[in-house]
Amino acid sequence: MEPDRGIYFDHVAAAPLLPEVVDAMIPFLKEDFGNPSSMHALGERCEEAIEQARLQTARLIHAGDPGEIVFTSCGTEANNFALKGIPLAYRDRGSHIIVSPVEHFSIMHAIRTLEKTGFQVTQLSVDRFGCVDPEEVERSITPQTVLVSIMHGNNEVGTLQPIAEIGKITREKGVLLHTDAVATVGNIPVDVEALRVDLMSLTANSFHGPKGAAALYVRKGVRVQPLLDGGIQEKGRRAGTENVPAIVGMGVAAEAAMGEMENRTRHIRALRDRLQEGLLERVPQVYALGHPTERLPNILSIAVEFVEGESMLLFLDMEGIRIASGSACISRSLKVSHVMLAMGIDAALAQGSLLFSLGKDNRVEEVDRVVEALPPIVQRLRDMSPLYRKAKQAGKT
């Protein structure tokens, strides 16, 4: 039975693959099943396909050399690879790392593992929009600092960080800069040179590529200790048989994203703005989260007072509307978002957060349908909420 996609506003969690991506992958699931390391015709065919995808991926982020792209199995692997591989490769230089408090769990938890092995981590602050202050980055750098890791765009609230400005500082100080660009690459133009980053994580599914393919950009000359030791794949930086079909799909998706970016963004931003306007107008006591302007065009994160995100998700799902509450990676853990707490948002309010992430195939009618559907759900849930009743009695609503 085919599931009903419904109104799908959960593109940050998973995006549908482009038809041409699937078409490009299928031969590598069928006749071109070889191992790129094999020294015969079938292997060579796969090796060429991977190098083509590497070139396509490099172009999307304006990397000067395709050899700067190291393919990984997912964004989490790319982030772990950078956050563990750089400090270990540069341990002779120092043992201090700087991160923001709104990073993805794959950064936050990798950091904890590093701390257990003797690294010191400085966690910066963010303002109420989730923004890092470049001056704080500068003040936090010590002679021991080897790596600064600050995400490009936040996957929960969409806030964009001033990476280029931070990159200027890290270059001056001779410190390496990693950015988790999983939420941005494919959604907005990203240029590793303009951003002055040394390492960047990206993932295929963010631009309608398949699961199972992602990459870490490693600027030429930067050493990184492998996370996966073994064979000489990826020039010895990531062992393991390459996931050829997924990597091929990533390349095709990267090329499509390059070509269509402007049109996609214009369309998506207009829908997102309409959704935001509609919801803020129709639902009382709702707040838009993240930066008002320095924000990913595809993301709308709102906090709804006196209601739990999970309950809203379930009611919306019953009406065929698929959205999220915080990051997909933690949604089932039912924890309050560390991103929102870092932004100074009250824990109770953060639990009432909804994350709408739009895609190129969404339509105006879908936005209008959601704007219609949410207000009665919120009202119904509030009517059941003792907190809401109390607040009402106190004249706070």
> Interface residues for a second copy in 228-247 (CB under 8 A)?
228-233, 239-246
In the window 175-214, what residues touch a second copy (CB under 8 A)?
205, 210-212
Binds a second copy (CB under 8 A): choice among 152, 322, 360, 382: 322
Binds a second copy (CB under 8 A): choice among 37, 142, 263, 379: 37
- The stretch among 109-117, 148-156, 163-171, 260-268 that binds a second copy (CB under 8 A) is 109-117
Shortest CB 308 distance to a second copy, Å: 12
Here the tokens at position 160 are 């964009």
Q: How far is CA 221 from the centre of its chain?
A: 26
CA angle 171, 100, 287 (to 5 degrees): 130
Number of residues lying near a second copy (CB under 8 A): 84
Here the tokens at position 260 are 């269509």
Binding of residue 105 to a second copy (CB under 8 A): yes
Q: Which CB contacts under 8 angstroms, 24+ apart, belong to 113-116?
A: 113/84, 114/83, 114/84, 114/87
Shortest CB 98 distance to a second copy, Å: 18
Rounded distance, CA 80 to CA 96, Å? 16
- The stretch among 77-85, 192-200, 277-285, 337-345 that binds a second copy (CB under 8 A) is 77-85
Binds a second copy (CB under 8 A): choice among 74, 177, 303, 370: 74
Give whichever of 27 and 189 is closer to a second copy, judged by the CB atom: 27
- The stretch among 59-67, 74-82, 194-202, 381-389 that binds a second copy (CB under 8 A) is 74-82
Give whichever of 170 and 331 is closer to a second copy, judged by the CB atom: 331
Cβ-based neighbours of 231, under 8 Å, separated by 6 or more? 37, 239, 240
Give whichever of 208 and 382 is closer to a second copy, judged by the CB atom: 208
Binding of residue 375 to a second copy (CB under 8 A): no
Binds a second copy (CB under 8 A): choice among 126, 200, 275, 324: 324
Rounded distance, CA 236 to CA 253, Å? 26
Report CA torsion sign: 345, 347, 352, 357.
positive
In the window 3-22, what residues touch a second copy (CB under 8 A)?
3-6, 8, 10, 13-17, 22
- The stretch among 111-119, 124-132, 148-156, 369-377 that binds a second copy (CB under 8 A) is 111-119
Dihedral angle over CA of 46, 48, 49, 50, nearest 10 = 90
CA angle 189, 191, 197 (to 5 degrees): 135
In the window 240-299, what residues touch a second copy (CB under 8 A)?
240-246
Rounded distance, CA 272 to CA 111, Å? 33
Binds a second copy (CB under 8 A): choice among 56, 57, 76, 184: 76
Binding of residue 162 to a second copy (CB under 8 A): no
Here the tokens at position 335 are 């924890």
Give whichever of 258 and 328 is closer to a second copy, judged by the CB atom: 328
Query: What is the DSSP annotation of 165-199?
Result: HHHHHHHHHT-EEEEE-TTTBTTB---HHHHT-SE
User: Is residue 329 annotated as part of the catalytic site, yes or no?
Assistant: yes
Query: What is the DSSP annotation of 61-130?
Result: TT-S-GGGEEEESSHHHHHHHHHHHHHHHTTTT--EEEE-TT--HHHHHHHHHHHHTT-EEEE----TTS
Binding mask 329-348 for a second copy (x = CB under 8 A): xxxxx---------------
Q: What is the 8-class DSSP label of residue 216?
A: E
Name the residues annotated as catalytic. Answer: 329
